[in-house]
Copies of this chain bind each other. A is one copy, B any other.
Amino acid sequence: MAKVICSETLDFFLFDVFDANQVLEFDRFKEYDKTSIELFFQSIRDIAENELLPIYSKMDKEKAYFRDGKVHVLPELGKAVRAIADSGIIGALDSFENGGIQLPYCITNTALSVLYAANPNATPYATLTQGAANLISAFGSQELKDKYLEKMFSWEWQGTMALTEPEAGSSLAHIISEATLLEDGNYNIKGQKIYISAGDHDQTENIIHLLLARIKGAPKGTKGISLFVVPKFLPEDEALKDNDVLTAGIYGKMGQKGYTAAHLMFGEHGKCKGYLVGEANKGLNYMFQMMNEARIGTGTLAMATASAAYHCSLKYAKERIQGSHPDKKETQVPIIEHADVRRMLLSQKAFVEGSIGLITYCSLLKDISEFGPSENRKNAHLLLELLTPVVKSYCAEQGFQSVNLAMQVLGGAGYTDDFPIEQYLRDTRVNSIYEGTTTIHGMDLLGRKIPLENGLALKLFQKEIETTLKEAFAIEETREMAALLTDQLKGFEKVLQNHFRILKTSGPRHFLADATLFLELFSLITIAWIWLKAIVKLTENKEERNEKFVKSKLTTAKFFFDYELIKSAGLIQKMSQEKEILTSSIDSSIFD
């Protein structure tokens, strides 16, 4: 099949750079070893190749549609997602006891990278179900678990996250869907939800919504939101009974045309039943405990899409003969010989592989924070909290730019649907919008994560970087990169001090005004660290990888420092200025 992701690179970051072997030692995962994991990965690659990749373009060209109150998707989608379910991945994170396969998150997410790269529109039907099931599993009653988990793990029933409402997008505090207590202890649900991914389709017999609503009389704001299981059909006495969940329509979108986003109406006829998950008024709290996972997932999706686009553009660049070298005009060459085409390829490669590194690191932190040695859990959790806005937004924003470069490599051909790149570009665009826009993540990083426990998360991260720098300064190949990163860290420190000065003198509105730029800078430094650590590990264990692999990684790292990390210079200059911040100081009338 067409190559969509590099297995050796996934393996390299997972086992060489970030040592996933340690995770396999944890009690929770003792059933697994490297051999069984490799077998699992092989089954995942088979599904990617045989079930997912073949229908990617078709899901777009024969897009989902809404007719007579029903949503229809490409019929082949059902078989493909059931194949994903058969691999065990929907229940991958859950315990054996609950019917899951108790796999480490870092392994699960690496497998998902492969599935996403083969088909970023089909795979989310499975991962959304995973997320919904995990909420029931973590916070639901035994009754809810018994009723729902098995059918969701096997994807007989689709799961969704029903959060967004017309007046509550980025601001979930303003949710107005209402839950009224019934005599049987359950709830009557009434409200509208919009943009609900996989919110309706014809490939599963039921759809289970994990829905946020406000119990009548609950406190205002975020502290009055509860989480409910609201199935499309109520499972009662072996039958499925209508539960008054109507689909008003699906959205026409730039991309993801085979991955539906529905507008749903709950309780239009007053007969929609919901089941409280956990305690009342803790819904947002529960949801946010799953958010790191969802956000790493979005980053993974964006990275994987860019990976598929990279490999498509690389293949084209090797095959397409056009133009000559400026000093040898008589002979035409494959376009991969042109320096600017290489720049566009290396920029993609540096993004994709650096992101794989970051995603792998975050996944590992999640495993350690939950199942690692107890003395390591807190620090891993803090680091994960710090890096979640980075992994989500860097991958989403730069993933889009990366696919954009893939298109540019193909020129006119890339703009046509003769190649999948125009679809990748349309599909990946939404990643910087959902699971929190980039703006939200900038504010999360600077406003919440940096100040977390008096800056402890940041200090831990800086310590990680310092350790790597020390090693890198001792190695010939990495010395120059280490010096560059040290410079950027000094600049970052200035930016940080300037921001806390602004907070003190001008308040939080001005402090947070450039948060998106702050996130951009912090991301560049983070990825530079990932690359530096990767090369340090690679030079320490050169014999484990072949010479070509070593050379490839070293060149890509150098490219990142030379062409990408330099973008921090302008950001540092901008954000260390001692003047008022334009965007928070002007009035809105100047835009007309």
Contacts and interface: CB of A to CB of B under 8 A. Distances in A.
A527 B426 CA distance: 30
Contacts of A569: 569-570, 573
Contacts of A341: 439
> Looking at A194, A251, A343, which has the most chain B CB atoms within 10 Å of its CB?
A343
A29 interface: no
Contacts of A586: 342, 555
A509 B336 contact: no
Contact of A512 (B170, B326, B581, B582): B326
Interface string A224-265: 000000000000000000000000000111110000010000
Given A254-B422, A568-B570, A552 B591 contact: yes
A400 B261 CA distance: 25
Nearest to A166: B413
Interface residues of A, number: 98
A525 B430 CA distance: 32
Interface stretch (A11-19, A209-217, A404-412): A404-412
Given A323-B171, A566-B573, A589-B548, A412 B332 contact: no
A567 interface: yes
Contact of A590 (B556, B568, B581): B556
Given A252-B417, A325-B509, A566-B571, A342 B583 contact: yes
A395 to B, nearest CB: 16
Interface in A505-545: 507-509, 511-516
A149 interface: no
Contacts of A507: 327
Contacts of A552: 589-592
A439 B568 CA distance: 24
A567 to B, nearest CB: 5
Nearest to A568: B570
A417 B332 contact: no
A526 to B, nearest CB: 17
A407 B254 CA distance: 11
A266 interface: no
A348 to B, nearest CB: 10
A346 interface: yes
Given A416-B252, A562-B574, A337 B588 contact: yes
A428 to B, nearest CB: 11
A219 interface: no
A322 interface: yes
29 contacts: A169-B411, A170-B323, A252-B417, A252-B418, A254-B422, A255-B415, A261-B416, A314-B592, A325-B509, A326-B443, A326-B509, A326-B511, A326-B512, A336-B588, A340-B513, A340-B516, A343-B513, A404-B429, A411-B433, A414-B433, A415-B429, A552-B589, A552-B592, A555-B586, A558-B582, A559-B583, A562-B574, A566-B573, A567-B567
